[in-house]
Amino acid sequence: MTDQEILSGLAEIIEEIAGTPADEVTPAANFVDDLDIDSLSMVEIAVAAQDKFGVEIPDEQLKDLKTVQDVVNFVSKNS
């Protein structure tokens, strides 16, 4: 899976869960400050990402993933 594929898959997930338009989900976007996504939505996104990419993102990792690119990197490294 390329980073671009992970990014577009992640954008679909975020649009579905948080209602954020997919085109706002850019690599540099910060979940809390730019996308207004709170910790509970992050858990839902992590669970959906696990279904979609087959990569588990545990709660203890989740708090360190602050930007979209952080998640892309995590998925890329662990898939």
Partner 1 sequence: MVAGAKILAFGGYQPDKVVTNDDLAKLVDTNDEWIRTRVGIQSRRVARDDETVADMAEAAGAKALAASGLEPSEVDLVIVATCSPEVPLPNVAATVAYRLGIPAPGAYDLNAACAGFCYAIGAASDAVRTGSARNVLVIGAEKMTSWIDWTDRSTCIIFADGAGAAVVSPAADDEPTGIGPVVWGSAGDQANKITITGRNGALAQDGQAVFRWATTAIAPVALEACRRAGVTPADITAFVPHQANLRIIEAIARKLGIPRDRVADDIIHSGNTSSASIPLALARMAEQGRLRPGTPALLIAFGAGLTYASQVITVP
Please, what is the minimum distance in Å from the beta carbon of residue 46 to partner 1? 8
Ordered alpha helix ranges (H), the chain: 3-18, 39-53, 59-62, 68-78
For partner 1, the binding residue among 44, 55, 66, 69 (CB under 8 A) is: 44
| Greatest extent of the chain over all pairs of C-alpha atoms, in Å | 28
Residue 40 sits in the site that holds partner 1 (CB under 8 A): yes
- Residue pair 27/69 in contact (Cβ under 8 Å)? The answer is yes
Please, what is the minimum distance in Å from the beta carbon of residue 63 to partner 1? 9
Positions in the binding site for partner 1 (CB under 8 A): 38-40, 43-44, 46-47, 59, 62
